[in-house]
Amino acid sequence: MTADVGVYLVTDPVLCDRHGLGVLAVVRAAVHGGVRIVQVRDKTASARDLLALTAAVADAVGDRATVVVDDRLDVALAARHAGHAVAGVHLGQSDVPVTAARALLGADAHVGLTANTPEHLAAVDRLLRGTVDLLGVGVVHPTTTKPDHPPALGHDGFARIAAATDLPCVAIGGVGPDDVAPLRAAGAAGVAVVSGICAAPDPAAAAAALVAAWDAAGTGHGADRTDDGGGGARLQAGRPDHGADA
């Protein structure tokens, strides 16, 4: 079964403050609008501050959305240890290895990974089945929220990556409502959005518009979810066993 991730919010504290709302208010509104996954991202926060924000986000959304932490495995572990419903992490290519994240978080946690080249996919394919749950693929378009991003893939480049892996791929990078249908047609399991929701004066309406576009482009495939042991949901996707862990 192909995972249906839908609309995936990545938080940005500066953009969330643009209209005086703040991260928590934006997250609540976005989840009300239909967002299914929230990635708590703050590249400049201390571990203590990011932990407090992550815990607050998880407590605010409860079981209505899956909450993951960007980059910071330590924060995800601490939040889960304290009993907050944090499903896991999303890691970049320069972060701690996904094998370490899986070992520390456990089999039922969510581990996402950024991948945007054939070499990245080849490395993932060498991992044991179940090490990675989801790939974040992009950027689709140039974006100011990630100034050091790799060359933009466009819809066709995203399609090539998505076609080369059995893992669900979430498109990220300058994604707007007009991108949703072509990206879903290109094999996206979901679309990740930062400024389109965080910087919107009405984030609930912005999220709802993206969700409506996603649903309208749908093929009727659902999401297979199981409890993750941390209060969130691990997205499952059918894929073959991989070889030994590299």
Whole-angstrom distance, CA of residue 92 vs CA of residue 98 = 9
Assess whether pLDDT exceeds 90 at residue 155: yes
pLDDT band at 176 (very low <50, low <70, confident <90, very high): very high
Q: What is the pTM of this model?
A: 0.88
Q: What are the residue ranges of helices labelled H in the chain?
A: 13-16, 23-32, 47-61, 73-81, 98-105, 118-125, 154-163, 177-185, 195-198, 203-216
- List CB contacts of 134: < 8 A, sequence separation 6 or more: 3, 5, 90, 110, 111, 112, 113, 167, 168, 169, 170, 189, 235, 237
Cα dihedral 183, 155, 36, 47 in deg (nearest 10): 170
Identity (one letter) of the amino acid at 146? Answer: K
Q: Yes or no: say if 16 and 38 are a contact pair by the CB < 8 Å rule.
A: no
Whole-angstrom distance, CA of residue 176 vs CA of residue 191 = 9
pLDDT band at 143 (very low <50, low <70, confident <90, very high): confident
pLDDT band at 146 (very low <50, low <70, confident <90, very high): low
pLDDT of residue 144: 73
Q: Give the residue, 1 or 60, on which the prediction is more confident.
A: 60
pLDDT of residue 1: 43
Assess whether pLDDT exceeds 50 at residue 237: no
The domains of the chain, with CATH numbers, are: 14-218 (3.20.20.70)
Q: What is the mean pLDDT of residues 52-67?
A: 98
Q: What is the mean pLDDT of residues 114-126?
A: 97
pLDDT of residue 150: 80
Q: What is the mean pLDDT of residues 144-158?
A: 84
pLDDT of residue 3: 82
| Residue 37: strand pairing partners | 8, 66
